[in-house]
Amino acid sequence: MRIPLPPVPLPERVVEAAREYAEGTRTAAEPRNAATVILLRDSERGPAVYLMRRQVSMEFAGGMCVYPGGGVDPRDFDADVAWAGPSPAEWAVRLGADEETARALVCAAVRETFEESGVLLAGGSASTVVADTTSDDWEADRHALESRELAMTEFLTRRGLVLRTDLLGVWGGWLTPVFEPKRFRTWFFVARLPVGQITRDVSTESSSVTWLPAIDAADAADAGEMLMMPPTYLTCLEVGQYADAGEAFAAAEGRTVEMFMPSVEPLGDGWTLSMPDHHRPLVAERRS
């Protein structure tokens, strides 16, 4: 199976469903808040990104290559979580969310990254970061977080750690179209792989993981060798324009999130889904 990449021709049934939602004759599913993290490291071909291939059996995006991430849950709202870096109030401005939601999104981003890749964006102080998370005791804690037996606040407190929120940058936001039965309001973050830490194939939701130069990942998707949802493809394409991981991470400085929801727009004699304006030139160049 090959997933068409932007611009994607839409079947008439999807166009008709979108029209019904727009007219108010159907009720859209309520989206769930989620956070995803584009992990970066250097390669000879620019920034490399960490991608997980989701289990084919997964209800949402089965078989797709995605970044680490997942839905926000109640344990992410703990106001007592140990924190270093920009304050929740500053994150609220960057993320375009209220302070409570912003704090939960940052916590979810760090938690999900650790659960799904073994990478922990935390340290013993505001200027240090954990150097290695591969030992059995770290793995036991990761499992406990994943199974929800352990809350992030308890985990950090017990280990004397603080969230290094300065190791995260803001990249963008995507809201699933109204006609999809399962919807997410997803904030995209970026982070550089901390020195000394390694990613591992640990997530129960993935069948395989890989590091690829972002531009090569986009090429693989274009060739039908890798399945991606449009947001993943477009962010790979965008990240791949930078010279290295440091430059890509620096590009997040000053960004704020305006949540983008694809809508139906004309494509020749048919219809397609819209994309953010800043992605259009990149896609047009590849299609020319």
How far apart (Å, rounded) are the C-alpha atoms in residues 271 and 138? 49
Mean pLDDT of 65-86: 95
Q: Please state the rounded mean pLDDT for residues 236-249.
A: 97
Q: Residue 195: which CATH number?
A: 3.90.79.10
Check residue 9 and give its pLDDT. 84
Give the whole-angstrom CA distance, residue 222 versus residue 225.
8
For residue 2, tell me if it sits in a domain. no
Please tell me the total count of domains within the chain.
1
Give me the mean pLDDT over the 188-213 stretch. Answer: 87
The model's confidence at residue 5, banded by pLDDT at 50, 70 and 90, is low
82, pLDDT greater than 70? yes
Average of pLDDT values for 145-156? 94
Q: Specify the pLDDT at position 1.
A: 45
Flag whether pLDDT at 63 surpasses 90: no
* 106 found inside a domain: yes
Write the Ramachandran bin of 46: left for phi over 0, alpha for psi from -120 to 50, otherwise beta.
left
CA 132-206-246 angle, to 5 degrees, is 50
Identify which has the larger pLDDT, 43 or 287: 43
pLDDT tens digits for range 182-198: 999 999 999 999 999 99
268 — pLDDT class (breaks 50, 70, 90): confident
pLDDT at res. 206: 57
**What share of the chain has pLDDT > 90, as a percent?**
77
Q: Distance (Å, rounded) from C-alpha 129 to C-alpha 26?
A: 49
* Distance, CA of 86 to CA of 168 (rounded, Å): 10
**pLDDT tops 80 at residue 123:** yes
Contact 220, 242 (CB under 8 A): no
**Which single residue is written with the structure tokens 């140990």?**
82
More confident residue, 278 or 64: 278
Burial class (CB in 10 A: 0-12, 13-18, 19+), 187: buried
pLDDT given for residue 189 in this prediction: 98
pLDDT at 105 (0 to 100): 98
**Cβ(205)–Cβ(116) below 8 Å:** yes
CB 203 within 8 A of CB 117: yes
Give 201's DSSP letter. Answer: S
Residue 277 lies in a domain: yes
In angstroms, how far is CA 18 from the centroid of its own chain?
25
**Residue 251 belongs to a domain:** yes
Q: What is the pLDDT of residue 112?
A: 96
What would the mean pLDDT of 32-53 be, rounded to a whole number?
A: 97
Most confident option among 1-5, 14-18, 236-240, 283-287: 236-240
Residue 41 falls within a domain, yes or no? yes
The answer to the question of residue 239 being in a domain is yes
Quote the domain boundaries for residue 144.
12-287
186 within some domain = yes
Residue 70 forms part of a structural domain: yes
